[in-house]
């Protein structure tokens, strides 16, 4: 056997040994990091293989598979189809997502120039519609036909309806139509029209009503009877943007209890550095102040509460503040307010929290969220080895052109103990991952 042949064999053996070593390392890391973690699935969108497709994987990062894909060429044969922001149904059998697959509009290409030279390009998004997929048989159905564009979509607790909104109406990005469509797509109803009403919209626990904030106050509407009820009266002048008016309070965020009988409100005062917390019944009665948050270290007038949720056991509320260092707070059943941890404080390496969104574990003791970490070379070590199974050429390009691209492609699923504040990274997501509101489903 010649010298060159022996050298080739040694190189091949070294590559195989390296791959086996990595698999063993990955197995140990998953096993150690996820000991005692509840069993569940994650659904997310990613362009890891060039097209914006939707994937499923276990909470620990195993069993990654593509569940929603489309032709590399869209309907107009000028660009790839996008599938975005998937969310599970509460049963875990359905996935709702957005897609532009049936759009007839050409996707325009925007060229970026610097000093007279082209430095890059991107496609301008086409309007998306709402689709639902049955995980069991991969059947996919289109539910909406408005061709206006929309935001995140999610299921009612009984999985019979989907809440969504249209945006950019009359070229006004703040004007929206809050809508609900059933999972068969047979009935598409507009609940409310107005400015900025969708950010906090959510279903009641019995799936009969939708709660939302309009003109700074909390409202509820019965989706079957179309009856509207105003629950708070902080905005006594009934103006569109009370936060811009001197002296007016407004509802900044709220949380609905799992039992469906209580609401906790975060109300912002005219002073941008103060929030008052109230509890009340879901019919608007028995409203009372339970605590307040004064002078959080925030980013000027932009400070607000981005996500606010009751725990599954109904005993506490957790929320994230859009302040400096992204503080995570716990408001317990006694009204006591405590800081869990600052998510983006110096030294944490966390650059951003994906949509400031989180999910409780079933035992109510921990939350999971997606965080983008600052980039380190060691984060990408062995990534190209792991990607061989998906196709050498595609993933070599993916590694060279997309992986080494900064913190926003360095996203991890993280778990936080809400009593101690301890944070642990579980699994790293592929490039350009995006998520819906209900991106985790816990197995029974």
Which residues of 196-236 form beta strands (DSSP E)? Answer: 202-203, 209-214, 217-222, 228-230
The full DSSP string for 412-425 is EEEEEETTT--EEE
CA distance 387 to 55: 15
Whole-number pLDDT of residue 244:
62
Is the dihedral angle over the CA atoms 412, 413, 416, 422 positive or is it negative?
A: negative
Residue 58 · residue 92 · CB < 8 Å: no
How confident is the model at residue 77, as a pLDDT?
40
CA angle 399, 125, 151 (to 5 degrees): 100
List residues bridging with 369 in a β-sheet: 358, 414
Mean pLDDT, consecutive 10-residue stretches, the chain (444 aa), reads: 68 76 63 72 84 86 79 46 86 90 62 53 66 88 73 87 74 72 86 74 93 90 91 83 71 93 88 83 94 69 81 95 88 92 85 88 95 69 47 48 47 93 89 89 89
CB 149 within 8 A of CB 168: yes
Cα torsion 395, 399, 400, 406: sign: positive
Give the Å distances, CA to CA, from 218 to 161, 177, 242, 288.
Answer: 21, 16, 13, 15
CA 81, chain centre distance (Å): 20
Position 6 scores a pLDDT of 74
Quick one: pLDDT at residue 286? 94
- CA dihedral (168, 173, 178, 179) in degrees, to 10, reads 20
Residue 220: strand, helix, or coil: strand
What pLDDT is stored for residue 300 in this prediction? 46
Strands 140-142 and 129-134: antiparallel
Let me know if domain 70-198 sits in CATH 3.90.1150.10.
Answer: no
CA gap 262, 75 in Å, rounded? 47
Task: Tell me the C-alpha to C-alpha distance, in Å, between residue 25 and each of 20, 28, 235.
Answer: 9, 5, 57
| Cβ count within 10 A of residue 381 | 11
The pLDDT value recorded for residue 235 is 83
List the strands of the sheet with 94-99, edge to edge: 83-88, 94-99, 129-134, 140-142
Report the C-alpha gap between 184 and 151 in whole angstroms: 20
Contact by Cβ (8 Å): 430, 370: no
For residue 281, what pLDDT is reported?
95
Burial of 358 (0-12, 13-18, 19+ CB in 10 A): buried
The pLDDT of residue 382 is 47
Query: Rounded distance, CA 95 to CA 87, Å?
Result: 6
3-class SS at 444?
coil
The Cα angle at residue 198 between residues 252 and 360, in degrees rounded to 5: 70
Beta carbons of 111 and 118 less than 8 angstroms apart: yes
**Residue bearing tokens 């979509």:** 153
Render 103-166 in DSSP notation, one character per residue.
--SPPPEEEEEETTEEEEEEEPPPP-EEEEEETTT--EEE-----S-B---EE-TTSSEEEEEE
Q: How far apart are CA 10 and CA 51, in angstroms?
A: 37
């Amino acid at each position: 056997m010649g010298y060159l042949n022996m050298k080739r064999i040694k190189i091949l053996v070294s590559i195989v040994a390296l791959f086996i070593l990595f698999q063993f390392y990955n197995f140990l890391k998953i096993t150690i990091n996820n000991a005692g973690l509840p069993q569940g699935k994650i659904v997310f969108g990613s362009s890891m293989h060039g097209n914006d497709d939707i994937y499923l994987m276990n909470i620990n990062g195993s069993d990654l598979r593509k569940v929603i894909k489309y032709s590399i060429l869209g309907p107009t044969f000028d660009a790839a189809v996008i599938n975005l922001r998937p969310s599970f149904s509460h049963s875990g059998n359905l996935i709702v997502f957005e897609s532009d697959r049936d759009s007839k509009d050409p996707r325009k290409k925007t060229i970026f120039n610097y000093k007279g030279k082209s430095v890059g390009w991107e496609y301008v998004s086409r309007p998306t519609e709402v689709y639902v997929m049955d995980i069991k048989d991969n059947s996919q159905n289109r539910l909406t036909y408005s061709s206006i564009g929309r935001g995140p979509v999610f299921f009612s607790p009984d999985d019979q309806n989907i809440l969504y909104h249209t945006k950019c109406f009359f070229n006004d990005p703040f004007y929206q139509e809050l809508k609900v469509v059933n999972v068969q797509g047979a009935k598409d109803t507009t609940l409310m029209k107005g400015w900025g009403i969708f950010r906090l919209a959510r279903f009641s626990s019995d799936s009969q009503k939708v709660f939302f904030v309009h003109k700074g106050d909390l409202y509820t509407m019965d989706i079957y009877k179309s009856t509207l009820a105003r629950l708070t009266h902080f905005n006594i002048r009934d103006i569109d943007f009370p936060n811009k008016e001197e002296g007016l309070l407004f509802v900044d965020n709220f949380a609905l209890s799992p039992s469906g009988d209580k609401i906790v409100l975060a109300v912002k005062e005219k002073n941008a550095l103060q929030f008052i917390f109230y509890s009340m019944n879901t019919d608007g009665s028995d409203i009372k102040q339970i605590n307040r948050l004064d002078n959080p270290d925030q980013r000027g007038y932009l400070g607000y509460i981005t996500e606010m949720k009751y725990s599954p056991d109904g005993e506490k509320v957790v929320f994230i503040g859009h302040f400096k260092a992204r503080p995570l707070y716990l408001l317990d059943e006694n009204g006591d307010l405590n800081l869990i941890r600052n998510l983006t404080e110096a030294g944490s390496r966390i650059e951003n929290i994906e949509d400031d969104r989180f999910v409780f574990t079933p035992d109510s003791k921990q939350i999971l969220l997606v965080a983008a970490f600052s980039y380190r070379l060691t984060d990408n070590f062995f990534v190209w080895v792991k990607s061989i199974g998906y196709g050498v050429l595609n993933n070599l390009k993916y590694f060279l052109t997309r992986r080494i691209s900064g913190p926003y492609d360095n996203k991890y699923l993280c778990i936080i103990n809400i009593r101690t504040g301890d944070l642990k990274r579980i699994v790293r997501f592929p490039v350009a991952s995006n998520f819906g509101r209900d991106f985790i489903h816990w197995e029974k």
